[in-house]
Amino acid sequence: MDAAVKRFPMPSVLRYPLLTRGGRYEPRVATGTRVRKGDVLAIGRWSPPVGYLHAATSGVVEMEATAMLLHPDGREDAAPPLSAKDLVERVRDAGIVGLGGAGYPTWLKLRQARNGDVRTLVVNAVECEPGVSADAALLREHAEEVSSGIEALANYIGNSRTIIAVGEGMDVPPDRLLSAPFVFLRGTDPRAPRARPNSPPMEQSSPVAGDSGGGFSMDGIPGVEVVRLTGPYPSGSERSLLARVLDVDLGKRIPTDVGVVVFNVATVFAVHRAWHCGERLVERVVTVDEENAWLRIGHPVEELPLSEGQVVVGGPVTGWIASEGEAVTKTTRAVTVNRPRAVSPCIRCGWCARACPEGLLPQELFRHINAGHRSETRGLRLADCVECGACDMACPSGLPLLATFRYGKSERREQERRARNAALAKARFTARAARLEQQRVEQQKEREARMASRRKWMYPG
């Protein structure tokens, strides 16, 4: 994993699914359209609006029922660089989303951070899963560009504190982070202009805190800290990260509610490329079967050099089995291979409960979901499962706990959807019945009034 980030050959075709787990893309091209690298292929049409999907190379488009194919022509003709002067517009036009896995539009998060009372910017470079080292590889080879991205974000948001969180085993030389050309806050006003230091920052002999989990500030420049997180997985999830770095319990809130905004290190790098180079998000670093490589968005998984085994899109813990026609997307952090694992009945050891970062009882959830006891799962806080897969790793019986919990949550969502639809149908039926009853009463009153008028005319005395 310490080797340089590779570049795989251009695949024979790039595949862009129009239907994703988050929603759908609306095509902006048709079969036979010749596009340049960076041209808009589709626009995300769901809430929140994800934005643009760009061509990762030049070629000819072919439309399918649920996907868009791009046949490379080998010319690499590129669209003109982005030119928007506002960072939010530039990030939106570049199609940048959260590259840590969530896929939330970065331009929306930036706008929320600027409009809110955000004082702390956290850059998450802690790998979210064992066996995945894409963030470490990116930071190792592009520390200066990541620093430039942090500068752009901090200047726009106006935060007074910046924290870079790295993992315990991350081999990134911290001095490269601390000697990079950051721009830091001067004075106490978070909206005050920022200026570069007059002299380069000093070399630091021990720039990263030890196992205590503390931080390190650059000499003479307030507001930046490099924090090395130690401890078990999952340290890289947003909730765990803020709990350990800032002692903040999010609960049902989002980070901006507590004055914090979090960006993945790959997202920060993409912001740098968009702001300083005018580039769209068309490629990313992906861990491919224990090695890291730059992959273009749309690279078919079947054309990757993988070893024998069950191909999984994502990490070995939280990933899902690759389906036919699966391709690399903006949120793909890894493509791994799982080896067969023997499954045996639960032995009630409780290791899964001790491993759960949310304090759940995975063995009880597993039992009730398989038995169809949906009401019991509500009391056991199935909705609080963050799908980290720690229970899967701890289970000596090899039970598919995470897959079962995902199924249970999808079943619960479907049940809630049906309940909402049933309540809506009942409300519509009740409203219709009340409307018809009101019409009947009004018609009866009209008939009685007409009858009274007729009797009065027929019998005037």
**What pLDDT is recorded for position 160?**
74
Average pLDDT for 390-394:
83
Q: How far is CA 341 from CA 86, 314, 370, in A?
A: 51, 18, 20
**384: DSSP letter:** G
pLDDT of 185 above 60: no
pLDDT of 434 above 80: yes
Per-residue pLDDT band at 45 (split at 50, 70, 90): confident
**What pLDDT is recorded for position 158?**
82
Cβ neighbours around 122 below 10 Å, total: 23
pLDDT of 23 above 80: no
pLDDT of 441 above 90: yes
pLDDT of 339 above 80: no
Pull the structure tokens for residue 59.
């070629």
CA distance 306 to 311: 8
Per-residue pLDDT band at 155 (split at 50, 70, 90): confident
pLDDT of 194 above 90: no
Cβ neighbours around 234 below 10 Å, total: 23
pLDDT of 428 above 90: yes
> Where do the domains of the chain lie, and which CATH numbers do they carry?
85-279 (3.40.50.11540), 342-426 (no CATH)
In 84-209, DSSP assigns E strands to 120-125, 161-167
Q: What is the pLDDT of residues 209-250, one digit of tens each?
A: 333 333 333 333 345 678 877 666 666 677 778 888 888 877
Average pLDDT for 354-366:
88
**Cα 319 to the center of its chain, rounded Å:** 14
**What pLDDT is recorded for position 130?**
73
**What pLDDT is recorded for position 50?**
63
Average pLDDT for the chain:
80
**What pLDDT is recorded for position 47?**
54
Q: What is the pLDDT of residues 373-383, one digit of tens each?
A: 877 888 888 88
pLDDT of 394 above 50: yes
Q: Which residues contact 356 (CB under 8 A, 6 or more apart)?
A: 362, 390, 391
Q: List the one residue out of 41, 29, 26, 31 whose CA is nearest residue 298.
A: 41
Q: What is the pLDDT of residues 83-110, one digit of tens each?
A: 888 899 999 999 998 888 778 888 888 8
* pTM for the model: 0.73
Contact 11, 300 (CB under 8 A): yes
**What pLDDT is recorded for position 355?**
84
**What pLDDT is recorded for position 375?**
78
**What pLDDT is recorded for position 357?**
79
Per-residue pLDDT band at 135 (split at 50, 70, 90): confident
Q: Which residue has the higher pLDDT, 274 or 165?
A: 274
Per-residue pLDDT band at 192 (split at 50, 70, 90): very low
**What pLDDT is recorded for position 435?**
94
Pull the structure tokens for residue 272.
């740098």
pLDDT of 280 above 80: yes
pLDDT of 189 above 60: no
Of these ranges, 47-56, 140-149, 171-180, 315-324, the one predicted with the greatest mean pLDDT is 140-149
Amino acid of residue 241 = L
Residue with tokens 């470490």: 136
With 0-12 / 13-18 / 19 or more C-beta atoms within 10 angstroms meaning exposed / middle / buried, residue 337 is middle
The enclosing H or E element of 63 equals: strand 59-63
pLDDT of 422 above 90: yes
Average pLDDT for 74-90:
89
Question: Rounded to 5, what percent of the chain is helix, strand, coil?
Answer: 35, 20, 45
**What pLDDT is recorded for position 461?**
61
Q: Which residues contact 296 (CB under 8 A, 6 or more apart)?
A: 10, 11, 14, 56, 57, 282, 283, 328
**What pLDDT is recorded for position 157?**
87
Average pLDDT for 36-50:
79
**What pLDDT is recorded for position 440?**
94
